[in-house]
């Protein structure tokens, strides 16, 4: 990916993602609040780093896919981790994609 003009980073476990604050803020009220300093989680305002220590990097990368591309690959294998993260970060589009998959997968033999 092109890291030109990146103005922040998100750290998940042992991986650091260069990000554009405006892109994440557009899809996530959580990140918008962080980047506008309503939540003082950043020491360096010029290039803030947000730590999501317990979030697997591969799951957060799906949030980034959605932020930058408008969609992400939701599967039965990742939905259980992706949905709570998307809900926590307030990324409504990913929450909707997860719920859509869960509805499609719901069958009489797996609903209890």
Kindly state the tokens that stand for 8.
């922040």
Cβ-in-10-Å burial (0-12, 13-18, 19+) of 89 comes to buried
Tokens 């599967």 sit at which residue? 75
pLDDT of residue 45: 62
| pTM (2 d.p.) | 0.86
For residue 56, the SS3 value is: coil
Q: Give the CA-trace dihedral at 48, 11, 4, 95, to 10 degrees.
A: -100
Instruction: Give 26's pLDDT tier (boundaries 50, 70, 90).
Output: very high
Instruction: Give 38's pLDDT tier (boundaries 50, 70, 90).
Output: very low
Q: Report all structural domains of the chain as residue ranges with CATH numbers, in order of start.
A: 8-105 (3.30.710.10)
């Amino acid at each position: 990916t092109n890291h030109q003009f990146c103005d922040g980073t998100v750290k998940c476990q042992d991986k650091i993602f260069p990000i554009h604050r405006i892109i994440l803020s557009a899809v996530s009220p959580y990140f918008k609040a962080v980047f506008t300093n309503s939540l003082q989680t950043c020491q360096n305002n010029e290039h803030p780093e947000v730590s999501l220590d317990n979030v697997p990097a591969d799951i957060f990368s799906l949030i980034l896919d959605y932020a930058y591309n408008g969609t992400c690959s939701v599967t039965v294998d990742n939905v259980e981790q992706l949905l709570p993260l998307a809900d926590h970060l307030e990324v409504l589009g990913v929450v909707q994609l997860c719920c859509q998959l869960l509805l499609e997968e719901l069958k009489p033999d797996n609903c209890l």
